[in-house]
Structure 1
Amino acid sequence: MPASRWIAGGIAAFTATAAVATGIVVSTSGDRDGGRAGVAGAAQALPSRPAAVPQGMPYEPAPVPPSRPTLQQTAFSPASYTVKITGQYQSRNNWCVPTSSSISLRTLGVKVSQATLAKKMRTAGPGTTARQALPVLNAYAKPKHLAYRTGDDISTGTRLLAKVRYDAGVLHRATVLGVWADDLPWNARQGFPNHTGHAIVVYGYNATKKTITVWDPWKATGGKHTISAAKLSAVSQKGGMFVLNRTL
């Protein structure tokens, strides 16, 4: 599941922790959106928390564009749609990105295990960066004339819902979203460190109700959840959706 340096966007500064068991990196800036991402400060002990704290994908300071130009998102999307997925729970604390990626790729018709993806993405320590994950994902997506990218504006519920409506409602594909695990409603009592980055799957929506359906691969509190688009946007990493597009 989480870690806490994530995908594209900006966090002012981070402090590396001495979390040997989990490898989680905790932000001390208190600013999840401003400034440049980076690691700063001396190592310090984490506050007490549950023994099984998830880890995930370290934060990336810049978006990684797809290797091929994408088509305009002009197709019509229905008012609601849910992609059929095969849910998985991550086998290891830091495998949220490989697991979410495995679920997403299956909706592209690609069956690849989270273990294989973790190896190809070189997942280690606090998790997997976007720069590690995207080339692997796009190697599988390219033959399908699709491409993943990060860095799109999902700063409001309306903007996030528009992206989900295209990926789920038009392409009929699920994709990966970077969030802050400690801010997810279903983790309210888990005691995660502040700015715990995590990857989940977005695979459905209801535009009338302005809700989004997600799959959280962290078994303790995960599985299927429905959340308002506005709330999901508020707890998402800046630019942290792996937006799918058709390619030329």
Structure 2
Amino acid sequence: MPHTSRGRWAAGIATAAAIAAAGAIIAVETGRRDGTHGRASTPSTSRSAAAPAAPTAFRLPIALQVQANPYSAVPAAAVVSLSTLGIKVSQSRFAAKMHMTRQGEYDGEDFYGAVNRYLHDTPYQVNNVGGPDSEPDFVMREVAYDVGVLQRAPMLSVWGERLPWHKGTERGRKVDHMVVAVGYDRSKGTVTVFDPWPDTGGVRTLPVATLARTLQIGGLYFIYQRSWSWETTTPTASPRLSPGGGPR
């Protein structure tokens, strides 16, 4: 999220560095800037009925890292997600692979393609669904499968100002941001996400209904195994976006 002050950003980085020095699982890494979602399938896209059932609750024990600067939420989220698939890449390297400009702009298709190129030699691939009309049950089902069955961390493109912990801290509307789902609890109706923003982010748990309302169109990047049977839908067009949110 680019809407911040230098003082708040410096304080957030200092806090994250202190946590890392104390031996926690958060680390600061240099990188570049960010953007938003890739191509979107309609919210009806889902796993086949043959998919294994997810446990009632699960939390991934994974290493996390905050974004390197006010514009690098997407590379940071991608790095965390890819790490759960056994792939190591830096924020700066991923930003280059998705052709992110020095001004923090990129094409959603380039982001989508970059993620799947890193997954080329694995049995996995990502697709993206969701949007304003996503039902909470749908979001929970997809997150629970990725986290609880595959034990991988899906990415979610969100509007930053809609996240409860950013309320009142962002100027304007549709502030582009990305988080990573790292846990869920179906009995409580909650999802745990990692927000790479170092100031007010971190590991946060929120109702799945609240999370569903934060999603951008095509904002839920679910992970699947290519050998499985899937329903198919026609992807919607992906606009080119700038770090503040709206299409160029």
Structure 2-normalised TM-score?
A: 0.72
CA gap 1:114/1:146 in 2 versus in 1, 3 angstroms: same
**In 1, Cα distance between the equivalents of 2:70 and 2:178?**
12
2:175: which partner in 1?
196
Aligned equivalent of 2:154: 175
Alignment of 1:237 onto 2:216: yes
Whether the aligned pair in 2 keeps the contact of 1:174 and 1:201 (CA below 8 Å) is yes
Q: Distance in 1 between matches of 2:137 and 2:106?
A: 28
Deviations 1:100-135 (A, max 9, x none): 000000000111111110111122224444311111
Structure 2 counterpart of 1:150: 128
Separation in structure 2 between the aligned mates of residue 82 and residue 180 of structure 1, nearest angstrom: 24
C-alpha displacement at 1:51, in angstroms?
Answer: 2.4
8 Å contact kept, 1:152–1:243: no
Deviates more, 1:224-233 or 1:237-246: 237-246
Aligned residues: 197
Runs (4+) off by over 3 Å: 52-56, 70-73, 126-129
Q: 1:158 to 1:168 in 2, by over 3 A?
A: same
Instruction: Indicate the RMSD between aligned Cα atoms, in angstroms.
Output: 2.4
Q: Does the Cα contact within 8 Å between 1:94 and 1:123 map onto a contact in 2?
A: no
TM-score of the two chains, using structure 1 as the length reference: 0.72
Structure 2 stretches lacking a partner, 5+ long: 10-32, 228-248
| 2-structure distance, mates of 1:162, 1:228 | 14
1:1-248 equivalences in 2 (<5 Å): 2=1, 22=2, 50-52=4-6, 56-58=34-36, 62-63=39-40, 72=48, 74-124=51-101, 125-152=103-130, 155-248=134-227
Assess if the C-alpha contact under 8 Å between 2:36 and 2:74 holds in 1. no
* Structure 1 unaligned blocks of 5 or more: 3-21, 23-48
CA drift of 1:149 comes to 1.2
Q: Provide the secondary structure at the position in 2 that maps to 1:91.
A: coil
> Structure 1 residues 114 and 132, CA, compared in 2 at 3 Å: closer, same or farther?
same
**Alpha-carbon distance, 1:152 to partner:** 4.4
- The letter of the residue matching 2:146 is D
Per-residue CA deviation, residues 18-43 of structure 1 (Å, 9 max, x unaligned), is xxxx5xxxxxxxxxxxxxxxxxxxxx
Point out the more displaced range, 98-107 or 119-128.
119-128
Percent identity, please. 28
Equivalent position SS for 1:242: strand
Q: How many angstroms does 1:239 deviate by?
A: 2.4
Q: Secondary structure at the match of 2:64?
A: coil
Change (3 A) 1:152 1:232: closer
Q: Distance in 2 between matches of 1:152 and 1:163?
A: 10
1:63 counterpart SS class: coil
